[in-house]
């Protein structure tokens, strides 16, 4: 149930248009005002974070303005830091905090104070407050990062930060859990109506929040669930979560699997699963074509791949606010691109997903909900589960 009446939020009319654009009633109810309000607050927190980072490193534009190239030169910022630096300027330009003219950025308005928006998010959605700590880390460590003294992975995944990620990749965090919720709905539409075998292979299961939602939602419809994760710390949590959520009749298997290497060599026999499932994982594959190819091999005839994560609307050229954290990670940005299948790092558009799946011999590609259609009413809608089927 929503903890927010629609008329209580200044963007209530926009939220109403967004929900109205989701044709499927079951899917519409997965996006309550509670989620939309929390997501809008988080977007404002991203603006405050971007401003705080530029301020911390002395990169806010002066009266004469600045370009990314000028900022890099004046501050001796290593070239590998260009991606997040671009994001910060572009994001603030898109939201009116900076103005852009002839390739230079000029100061226009201050965002809300970080502390004020952080307090609002914590009050509105306590489970999402962990995002505040992660974003605050980016501000606090901005000088270290942009000086090239530590990578984003070293900063954000330092041992003392791991508890934050266990909370972030959790179903208590509504901002993250939405992908698990939509993914579970997509899986439920693939389960055989006659109660036959339904075997799922999850790739990159992390701390197990996706498995938790899927197994609780589908119950005994899942006959076999194989949970895989490459990181030992996350895998232990994921194993416990999957086993706790599974119905007594579901066979749960867990294994370490590196999606960038041969799956068969790691124990995944070709043609043995009805679904290959992944939440917020495939977009970091250095070679996405290889990973989708391996997923296709694992499917039985008529099986499906389900990928649930941020999906960039085809017409949306500006940065997705959720990318601010991950643009600081080399694993997010160091990927092979392709003009059609993967034009850029990060989250893919429906068209790019369709081209990627079809190149692997998969078809009948659908996006639940239709991100591009919804974006006509609400351009920043970026949540979807993409399903592609193997040829029977």
Grade residue 378 by pLDDT with cuts at 50, 70 and 90.
confident
Residues of the chain with CATH 3.40.50.150: 176-389
pLDDT in tens, 175-223: 999 999 999 999 999 999 998 999 999 999 999 999 999 999 999 999 9
Long-range contacts of 145-153 (CB under 8 A, 24+ apart): 145/81, 145/84, 145/328, 146/57, 146/75, 146/77, 146/78, 146/81, 146/85, 147/76, 147/77, 148/77, 148/78, 148/80, 148/81, 151/330, 152/84, 152/328, 152/329, 152/330, 153/329, 153/330, 153/331
Mean pLDDT of 254-258: 96
Note the pLDDT of residue 315.
85
| pLDDT tops 90 at residue 317 | no
User: How many helices (H) does the chain have, and how many strands (E)?
Assistant: 18, 9
Of 279, 331, 310, whose CA–CA distance to 157 is shortest?
331
Q: Is domain 176-389 in CATH 3.40.50.150, yes or no?
A: yes
Note the pLDDT of residue 169.
95
Distance CA 83, CA 53 (A): 14
Grade residue 7 by pLDDT with cuts at 50, 70 and 90.
low
Burial level of 9, CB count in 10 A (0-12/13-18/19+)? middle
Phi-psi region of 204 (alpha: psi -120 to 50; beta: other; left: phi over 0): left
Give me the chain's average pLDDT, please. Answer: 94
Note the pLDDT of residue 319.
82
pLDDT in tens, 144-177: 999 999 999 999 999 999 999 999 999 999 999 9
C-beta separation of 25 from 54 below 8 A: no
pLDDT in tens, 282-303: 999 999 999 999 999 999 999 9
pTM score > 0.85 for this model? yes
Burial level of 206, CB count in 10 A (0-12/13-18/19+)? buried
Distance CA 302, CA 275 (A): 9
Note the pLDDT of residue 161.
94
Tokens 């078809």, located at residue: 363
What sign for the dihedral angle of Cα 86, 204, 33, 381?
positive
C-beta separation of 347 from 384 below 8 A: no
Phi, psi of 281 (to 5 degrees): -135, -50
Distance CA 391, CA 318 (A): 36
Note the pLDDT of residue 98.
97
Grade residue 8 by pLDDT with cuts at 50, 70 and 90.
confident
Distance CA 103, CA 85 (A): 14
Note the pLDDT of residue 356.
97
DSSP class of 260:
T
DSSP state letters, 58-119 = T-S--TT-B-HHHHHHHHT--GGGHHHHHHHHHHHHHTTSEEEETTEEEE------HHHHHH
- How many residues are present in the chain? 392
pLDDT in tens, 68-80: 999 999 999 999 9
Distance CA 382, CA 284 (A): 17
Distance CA 392, CA 385 (A): 22
Note the pLDDT of residue 1.
35
């Amino acid at each position: 149930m929503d903890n927010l009446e629609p008329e209580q939020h200044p963007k209530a009319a926009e939220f109403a248009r967004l929900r109205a654009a989701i044709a499927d009633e079951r899917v519409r109810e997965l996006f309550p005002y509670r989620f939309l309000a929390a997501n809008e607050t988080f977007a404002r927190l991203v603006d405050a974070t971007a401003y705080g980072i530029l301020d911390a490193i002395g990169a806010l534009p002066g009266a004469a303005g600045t370009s990314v190239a000028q900022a890099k030169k004046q501050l001796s910022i290593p070239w590998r830091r260009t991606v997040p630096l671009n994001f910060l300027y572009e994001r603030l330009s898109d939201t009116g905090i900076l103005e852009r003219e002839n390739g230079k950025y000029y100061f226009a308005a201050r965002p809300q104070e970080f502390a004020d928006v952080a307090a609002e998010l914590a009050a509105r959605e306590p489970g999402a407050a962990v995002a505040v700590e992660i974003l605050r880390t980016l501000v606090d460590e901005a000088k270290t990062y942009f000086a090239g003294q530590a990578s984003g992975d070293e900063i954000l995944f330092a041992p003392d930060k791991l508890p934050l990620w266990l909370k972030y990749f959790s179903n208590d965090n509504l901002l993250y859990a939405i992908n698990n919720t939509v993914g579970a709905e997509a899986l439920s539409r693939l389960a055989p109506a006659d109660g036959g075998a339904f075997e799922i292979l999850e790739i990159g299961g992390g701390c197990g929040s996706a498995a938790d939602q899927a197994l609780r939602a589908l119950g005994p419809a899942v006959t076999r669930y194989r949970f895989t994760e490459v990181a030992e710390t996350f895998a232990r949590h994921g194993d416990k979560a999957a086993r706790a959520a599974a119905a007594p009749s579901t066979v749960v298997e867990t294994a370490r699997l590196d999606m960038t290497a041969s799956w068969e060599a790691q124990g995944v026999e070709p043609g043995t699963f009805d679904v290959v499932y992944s939440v917020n994982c495939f977009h970091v594959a250095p070679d996405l074509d290889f990973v989708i190819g391996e997923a296709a091999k694992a499917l039985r005839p008529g099986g499906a791949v389900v990928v649930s994560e941020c999906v960039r609307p085809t017409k949306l050229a500006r940065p997705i606010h959720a990318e601010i954290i991950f643009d600081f990670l080399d694993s997010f940005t160091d990927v092979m691109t392709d003009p059609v299948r993967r034009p850029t790092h990060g989250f893919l558009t429906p068209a790019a997903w369709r081209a990627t799946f079809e190149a692997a011999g998969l078809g009948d590609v659908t996006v639940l909900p239709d991100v591009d259609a919804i974006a006509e009413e609400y351009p920043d809608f970026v949540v979807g589960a993409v399903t592609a089927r193997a040829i029977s």
